[in-house]
Amino acid sequence: MSYFRRVIDAMTGYVPGEQPPPGTPIIKLNTNENPYPPSPKALEVLRNLESEWLRRYPDPFARRFCEAVSQALGVPADGVIVGNGSDELLNVLIRSCAGGQDRPVVYPIPTYVLYRTLAALQPATVVEIPYSPDFRLPLASLIAAQGAVTLIASPNSPSGHGVSQADLRQLAQNLSGVLVIDEAYVDFAETSALDLVEEFENVIVLRTLSKGYSLAGLRMGFGIAHPALLSGLFKVKDSYNIDAIATAVGTAAIQDQAYKNACAEQIKQDREILTVNLRGSGFKVFDSQANFVLVTPPQGNAEFLHQALKHQGILVRYFKQPGLEDKLRITIGTAAQNQLLLEKLTLLPGQNP
């Protein structure tokens, strides 16, 4: 007999990107962290934390944070749910809404691999529908699958493409289940689907402080949806899922939109420069709305380059998955980091045509 349920024995756990200990002399372009520090105002709050906040249990709904989100994004404060990273909210959504064959989890692939892990844990039947090679959304098949939960990352990872608002509206209209629009990378994109929340009760838009706000270590994400949809999720989440430190620091970070926007602007500019330079060196680079680019090296030797770069002190992401074997996902770093990456990449053996 196993200690575990059959589905746990059968599944493979989620494998996060490599996280070397802080201080390791390495350029980390593998997990889409922001290369810039968090807002100075957020750090100021962190330095001045009162011990009383730690002695007491935190606010289970992080209402101060919800108010700040309401101010910053112009959404009602009672339409916000806060999570221990948006990963927790994805977990809560699937636990709340999906399960078995009758309540499947549906998403286009390739996308965020955690979706598959969370469905396997539930367990819920998974329907994975491939994107076209140029990443057009398989709209008709997604609608036909009628997921209890349909997940669309936009901008998507690892491709970086944004899904059009028109396609998302079609989905929202034609699904009887929940449509999750995972906007982890929206801070680097030109558009958002946030407006759909007002229009459709079955839509939840997920955001995170991990990417745009440089706070991946804080673990804070949030969802915006109709209170009717949130009411079920509140039953399922841990009561004290967001700690007092995260609530205080995250609130200051959300309030400092100007700082976040300035960092994102810089990253978007550097993304364009890296894209042009890589294309000039023969790489295929997919157009990206995120803080990373998906690239195909001229020789297709992505796995080799991943290893070779690692030996030279640069981490990028390689996915050994169908359709991605010949590609690398590279997080946009500082201008200097991107330049160094480019130099190493073009000097490695087998790169010059």
Take residue 58 and report the two structure tokens written for it. Answer: 């935190």
Instruction: Let me know if 128 is exposed, middle or buried by CB neighbors in 10 A (0-12, 13-18, 19+).
Output: middle
CA distance 294 to 283: 10
Residues 65-94 that bind ligand PLP (CB under 6 A): 85-87
If the CB atoms of residues 87 and 187 are measured against ligand PLP, the closer one turns out to be 87
Per rule CB under 6 A, is residue 115 in the interface with ligand PLP? no
Residues 93-112 that bind ligand PLP (CB under 6 A): 112
Pick from 33, 5, 39, 2: nearest CA to 17: 33
The answer to whether 109 and 116 are in contact (CB under 8 A) is no
Binding mask 133-152 for ligand PLP (x = CB under 6 A): --------------------
Please report, for residues 121, 128, 260, the alpha-carbon distance to residue 9 in angstroms, rounded to integers and kept in the order given: 10, 22, 42
First to last CA, the chain: 57
Q: Of 122, 150, 154, 210, which lies in the binding site for ligand PLP, with binding defined by CB under 6 A?
A: 210
The answer to whether 277 and 128 are in contact (CB under 8 A) is no
Q: Of 184, 224, 244, 324, which lies in the binding site for ligand PLP, with binding defined by CB under 6 A?
A: 184
Per rule CB under 6 A, is residue 208 in the interface with ligand PLP? yes
Q: Tokens 């669309």 sit at which residue?
A: 152
Q: What is the CA 36 to chain-centroid distance, rounded?
A: 18
Binding mask 217-246 for ligand PLP (x = CB under 6 A): ----x-------------------------
The residues near 305 (Cβ < 8 Å, ≥ 6 apart) are 297, 316, 328, 345, 348, 351
Per rule CB under 6 A, is residue 182 in the interface with ligand PLP? yes
CB of 6 to ligand PLP, least distance (A): 28
If the CB atoms of residues 86 and 202 are measured against ligand PLP, the closer one turns out to be 86
If the CB atoms of residues 85 and 297 are measured against ligand PLP, the closer one turns out to be 85
CB of 209 to ligand PLP, least distance (A): 7
Q: Which residues sit at the interface with ligand PLP, rule CB under 6 A?
A: 85-87, 112, 153, 157, 182, 184, 208, 210-211, 216, 221
